[in-house]
Chain A
Amino acid sequence: MTSNQNYLEIHCLQNLTTEFELIKDLKATPLEVLEFDDRSFAFQGPAKICGIGTFIHLEGALFISGKKNDFLATAKLVSSAPIGDKLFKYTLELTRFDKPLWESFRKSVEHSQIATDTLFQSMRDHD
């Protein structure tokens, strides 16, 4: 990925109570976050990693305009829905996390899309 991009990688997901890893080998193949919100985000994983309401400890990296920031948080699984090929879309709600860092990530993504739209519209002139 090139230098000015924004993304979140998850390197570790653990059941907060049992400390079991919910998905193996995330250090080698980190999870990619697909969608996010003010205090939640969604990713895709194998079926039944844990039940709704499970508290999770997560470790990852937030890349904001290409700059890497360590991201540690506690979250709760709030939804899971099948999306094909025996895969599920999981949504985690963040409960304890670095709010300013998360907000800065959210803003950076938002600004990136606005800047893209402005440039794209000015050149494209839709037909």
Chain B
Amino acid sequence: MNDLTAIIVDSSASYGHLVASSLRELGFSQERIFITKRYAGALEFMNERKPQVLITEFQIDGKFGLELVNLHNSQSAENISIVMTHNNSSSSIAEAAEELVDDYIVKPFQSGMLNHRLRSLIDKKLNPSEYIKSIRAGKQLILEGRLKDAEFKFSSAVAQESRPTLAHYYLGYTKFIENNFSVAKEEFIKGLRIQPLHYKCLTGKFDTFFEQKSYEEAYDVANTILGNYPIGPKRLGHLFISAVFSGRLDMVPQYYRLFAQLDHKTPELRRVFSAALFTAGRSQIITGDIFKAVECFEMGIQVVGPDSAYLTKVIKALLKTDVQGCKQASRLLQQYPTNQVGSKEFDSLNFLVNSKLLTIPQIIEHGRKLVANSRMDSECYEVFVRILLEDKKVVLAEDIMAKAVRDYPEARSRLNDLYQKFVVA
């Protein structure tokens, strides 16, 4: 083992030294062991020295050790990665398994356990069976983009093992990358015939349905996955989308709970989740259940945090409903980010809400103030002009139109159409 290089990434110097001492006992040379408390330092070392062994905390320096694992795995299919952490939550373990971490060690540990586990893991990695050798060679070929050669390796692996579930999975995965979804699905199903709850084959099958936009089938597989495994952030978003797009809106609260329980909520997951919650809310509006729609929107707001664009989208969706929906829109407007209250965007949105809830004289007064201070966007101008024309205040409407066209020349034809509709008719 003295030709292997290792990196230990841990915010605790004590654990860093303890692991280094174990690695030395296993035969690693001192100069090939790098210990760091810093994520940036780890990244730099990994890019420069390409270590074969990575031992990292789950969270380091405010970042996630699994991002280092991702890089490490992309460097070689032979690399060994270990997460060593106090964090024993099932979603974190699931996330590590998804990222193909080789071992997950919970701190603190029984004396001698670390040495034993490191030795057995490294032995297993360095002395694989012929079957695993073929799988790893295939994985390396995928990393190099040689998909046909990879397929050949995985096919030969199928013949090397009596229950070649993993080989079927990787054959399916190779086909999946090639966008040959029907063959990919067949391979995942072959794997599942051998092991009906094989996690990778189940997720492969789910991904295939999802990519084909067969959301109902995807949702059925998602249910099997959820019933048997904890879910990490990488997969939860797609599982949730399959539930929403297959019309299972009753599942929204359950998925939201799963989201809330995650230790690691990636920006991508927040984006996917909030978009799916918005879609779920709109579907509830279509079914006429404003209360449930608001529930979905509020969950979406929790997911994205103070985000004016998301709130605007939600409020505008509610303004297209009945009085109850408009009252809810007014309530949600109170959640607008404090530092943006008073901005033109806020004033315009506030006017749109008021235009549904105030009396006509109140709306006109509010509108005139905004126009005088150039605080209206083009949509607000249209709404205001429409209200004035409906109330037969033609002269005022013409004044406002002139101002609107000066501020937003592109709105001219829409405003003219509106004017024609009310005045000429």
Tell me whether A and B are bound partners: yes
With both chains docked as a complex, state the minimum distance between the C-beta of B107 and any C-beta of chain A, in angstroms: 7
**Nearest opposing residue in chain A for B20, CB measure:** A84
Classify the secondary structure of A's interface with B.
mixed
List CB contacts (< 8 Å) of B95-123 with chain A: 96-98, 100-114
Contact A89 B18 (CB under 8 A): yes
Once A35-B111, A116-B88 are accepted as A-B contacts, the answer to whether A123 and B98 lie under 8 Å apart by CB is: yes
**Nearest opposing residue in chain B for A63, CB measure:** B86
Residue B124 lies at the interface, judged by CB distance under 8 Å to chain A: yes
Residues from chain A with a CB closer than 8 A to the CB of B109 are 35, 109, 113
Residue A5 lies at the interface, judged by CB distance under 8 Å to chain B: yes
Once A36-B108, A122-B199 are accepted as A-B contacts, the answer to whether A44 and B166 lie under 8 Å apart by CB is: no
Residues from chain B with a CB closer than 8 A to the CB of A37 are 110-111
List CB contacts (< 8 Å) of A89-127 with chain B: 89, 106, 109-110, 112-113, 115-117, 119-120, 122-127
Contact of B12 among A32, A113, A125 (CB under 8 A): A32
Residue B335 lies at the interface, judged by CB distance under 8 Å to chain A: no
Q: How far is the CA of A115 from the CA of B96 in the complex (A)?
A: 15
Residues from chain B with a CB closer than 8 A to the CB of A84 are 17, 20-21
With both chains docked as a complex, state the minimum distance between the C-beta of B288 and any C-beta of chain A, in angstroms: 41
With both chains docked as a complex, state the minimum distance between the C-beta of B243 and any C-beta of chain A, in angstroms: 21
Residue B229 lies at the interface, judged by CB distance under 8 Å to chain A: yes
Residue A2 lies at the interface, judged by CB distance under 8 Å to chain B: yes
Contact A34 B199 (CB under 8 A): no
Residue A64 lies at the interface, judged by CB distance under 8 Å to chain B: no
Residue A33 lies at the interface, judged by CB distance under 8 Å to chain B: yes
**Nearest opposing residue in chain B for A124, CB measure:** B97
Once A8-B108, A116-B106 are accepted as A-B contacts, the answer to whether A123 and B97 lie under 8 Å apart by CB is: yes
Interface residue count on the B side (C-beta < 8 Å): 48
Contact of B18 among A5, A35, A36, A110 (CB under 8 A): A35
Residues from chain A with a CB closer than 8 A to the CB of B97 are 119-120, 123-124
Contact A116 B104 (CB under 8 A): yes
Residue A4 lies at the interface, judged by CB distance under 8 Å to chain B: yes
Instruction: Please encode chain A, from 39 to 68, with 1 for each CB lying within 8 Å of some chain B CB and 0 for all others.
Output: 010111000000000000000000000000
Instruction: Please encode chain B, from 121 to 151, with 1 for each CB lying within 8 Å of some chain A CB and 0 for all others.
Output: 0001000000010011001000000000000
Contact B18 A44 (CB under 8 A): yes
Contact of B111 among A6, A36, A83 (CB under 8 A): A36
Residue A85 lies at the interface, judged by CB distance under 8 Å to chain B: yes
Contact B114 A127 (CB under 8 A): no
Residues from chain B with a CB closer than 8 A to the CB of A40 are 111
List CB contacts (< 8 Å) of A1-39 with chain B: 1-2, 4-8, 32-37
Residues from chain A with a CB closer than 8 A to the CB of B368 are none
Residues from chain A with a CB closer than 8 A to the CB of B93 are 116, 119-120, 123
Once A123-B199, A126-B124 are accepted as A-B contacts, the answer to whether A110 and B88 lie under 8 Å apart by CB is: no
Contact B135 A127 (CB under 8 A): yes
Q: How far is the CA of A119 from the CA of B111 in the complex (A)?
A: 23
Give 14 pairs: A residue, B residue, CB < 8 Å, sorted on A: A7-B107, A34-B15, A34-B107, A36-B110, A83-B20, A84-B17, A109-B108, A113-B113, A116-B88, A119-B93, A120-B103, A122-B197, A124-B97, A127-B136
A contact residues vs B (CB 8 Å cutoff): 1-2, 4-8, 32-37, 40, 42-44, 83-85, 87, 89, 106, 109-110, 112-113, 115-117, 119-120, 122-127
12 new A-B contacts, CB < 8 A, other than A34-B107, A113-B113, are A2-B87, A34-B14, A35-B113, A87-B13, A115-B88, A116-B93, A119-B97, A120-B97, A122-B199, A124-B199, A125-B199, A127-B136
